[in-house]
Amino acid sequence: PTSWNARIAMAAIEHMWGDGAKFIASKSEWGARIFRWMHTQTNDYDLADPVYEPGQKVPDKKTLLQTHLGRNILPAKPWPADETTPAFTDVGDGHELFAIRRGQYYGLVYAGKRTPFWMDLGLGGQNNFSGGGLTALYLRPNRNLVILGRARKEYGWPPAKWESLSVPVVAGELQNGRRFNTGICRNRVEWDAAKWTIRTTGEAVGAPVNFERRYVFNEANIAASVKIREAFLDGDVSIYRHVFHNEQPEDVVIKQAWELIPIRYAAGTKVSLFGAGNAVLGELTTAPKDGVQMVEINTGSGGVRVQLEKPQTVKLSGEDEHDKSCRSVQIRMADMLPQGQAAELNYQLVPF
């Protein structure tokens, strides 16, 4: 998301020099981790500055940059995902990106703020994704990345192509054909590190649809729930009200809605479906499959099982022609949801 780019420390230096980690590697453990990962062997920035006097041959070492800032680089330490101590981190105290390490997993939840309204107008109307859910799930000890959300488009994804999305959102259509995506929204986030919980609530920008998403990060699994309903046009739509208010009540009925769980679709990944009593239903495809109680995402060295509270219809996302490494497991939440009613989906993510 473009709004997040400007919030990464030293991002400008990285783009200018392609190697900005060396500027902060002597002061930041994070910078040191990046530096040691990029430079596995001794290099110029680990060595003392050469002695240079006027009249001598110019040394081979590049001295144009502020090389003294790269002195005394901190020793390498495990990356946060590979550490074993449980932790619930509000990254940078920004209340947007949360890192949760517990049991054998390390997860990232992104619940970003909307960019300023003028940026939406100036950059095409859908400038970033926010209000998303679990966007990454990494499993130890095999260094196994199973869930991976990717936003490939510069200013957000056209809502009409929601079936090819690989981000943790609810997406779908209204009766009048308007598409919605809970990742293009205005959201609020609440969290309780002591209880290992995160809750996000908000309203979609492109259609009058509200959502509520919850996670409980347990030792052996992650309990997830998401709820959607059409917005109350006279009350809880805080933006674009003048657009939606002219629509008839029957127009804002949710025609279909799908929960998207983005997965890393690497070579060898197998996504299997099971029904009641662990009945084998075959592999996940783009054709909807009814009666699915569990989805098993197996990378060959472990993975995660999506255990649904009750049988649902499930399908695989379409393939993005620009990025074949990520797909999404799409679970139907609603099919012509009656007006005034909410649709709720509950499931567990169980690493194995």
- Tallying the residues shown for the chain, one arrives at 352
139 Cβ contact partners less than 8 Å away, ≥ 6 residues apart: 104, 105, 106, 145, 146, 302, 303, 304, 351
Residue 236 banded pLDDT, cuts 50, 70, 90: low
pLDDT beyond 70 at 50: no
Question: What is the residue-wise DSSP string for 180-224?
Answer: EETTSEEEEEEEETTTTEEEEEEEESSSSEEEEEEEEE-SS-EEE
Among positive and negative, which fits the CA dihedral 38, 302, 140, 100?
A: positive
Distance between CA 75 and CA 29 in Å, rounded?
8
- Lowest model confidence (mean pLDDT) among 37-41, 122-126, 234-238: 122-126
Using a 10 angstrom Cβ sphere, with 0-12 exposed, 13-18 middle and 19 or more buried, the burial of residue 32 is buried
pLDDT beyond 80 at 36: no
Residue bearing the bigger pLDDT, 167 or 218: 218
Distance between CA 195 and CA 216 in Å, rounded?
8
Q: Which one of 19-33, 173-187, 335-349 scores highest in mean pLDDT?
A: 335-349
Question: Is 0.85 surpassed by the pTM of this model?
Answer: no
Instruction: Kindly state the helix (H) or strand (E) to which residue 15 belongs, with its residue range.
Output: helix 11-17
